[in-house]
A and B are shown apart, each in its own frame.
Chain A
């Protein structure tokens, strides 16, 4: 059960980030941040299938995390979170076609390694 929840959390997070990124690139650069601009943004995002899917995936991941926290310590989910940084960098390169140079890989690896150390007490 614990491992299943970790899998759901990691998949939900990864899918959420990739879908949100894809949906927001399709929407275009947000340039207005006044109350009117944000209302218009939210109205448009309510019809953006990628972003709706992304937020749904993040919500599933969030509730799975709450369930996991009731049966295991937080540190149990950390290694999967850490691996997510590298997995999502790879997906950004291959699915979102971003130019991921050595600096991005090095930075993502440092973050992933740093986060995995948080699992130790």
Chain B
């Protein structure tokens, strides 16, 4: 029983890292692309681009790690909470307008995340890399 609790906490922790690095990584990239640049290569000298690429590299490692023990049918809906975070960041930090239809969509996504979050993250046996 303690093992399944440990697995759930570990999975939710990594899902949180994956969601945050994905949302802020993409946001920083978009800031970097929007800055005025003299050439294509110039884009890569922007600190926003650097921060964005770094965060997306962390996202890739955390997403792959998640998939090393958790089901795809668990990880995919749960990490869809990135839509919720994107909307909140847009509305609260950037003062973007979010329409009522979009808020309804965000609430539905959040509900879906909670529903899938109730299931066990792992339904197929997985070996540990330490076993080898």
| Chain A positions near chain B (C-beta within 8 angstroms) | 17-18, 20-21, 24-25, 27-33, 38, 41-42, 45, 51, 55, 85, 88-89, 91-93, 96-101, 103-104, 106-111, 113-118, 120-121
Interface residues of B (CB under 8 A from A): 60-61, 63-65, 67-69, 71-77, 80, 83, 99, 101-102, 104-119, 123-124, 126-132
What is the bound-complex CA distance between A114 and B128, given in angstroms?
35
Q: Return chain A residues, CB-CB under 8 Å to B101.
A: 117, 120-121
Q: Is the interface of A mostly helix, strand, loop or mixed?
A: helix
Q: Can you list 13 A-B pairs with a CB-CB distance of less than 8 A?
A: A17-B72, A20-B63, A28-B131, A85-B77, A98-B124, A99-B123, A103-B115, A108-B76, A110-B108, A114-B109, A114-B111, A117-B104, A117-B108
How far apart are A84's CB and chain B's nearest CB, in angstroms?
Answer: 9
List residues of chain B with CB within 8 A of the CB of A91. 72
Contact residue among B60, B72, B111, B119 (Cβ-Cβ distance under 8 Å from A101) = B119
The prevalent SS among residues of B at the interface is helix
With beta carbons under 8 angstroms apart, the residue of A38, A106, A120 that contacts B61 is A38
Taking a contact as CB atoms under 8 Å apart, the answer to whether B67 and A107 are in contact is: no
Contact B83 A24 (CB under 8 A): no
| B73 and A92 within 8 A (CB) | yes
- Is A96 in contact with B112, judged by CB distance below 8 angstroms? no
Candidates A28, A103, A108, A118; contact of B83 at CB < 8 Å:
A118
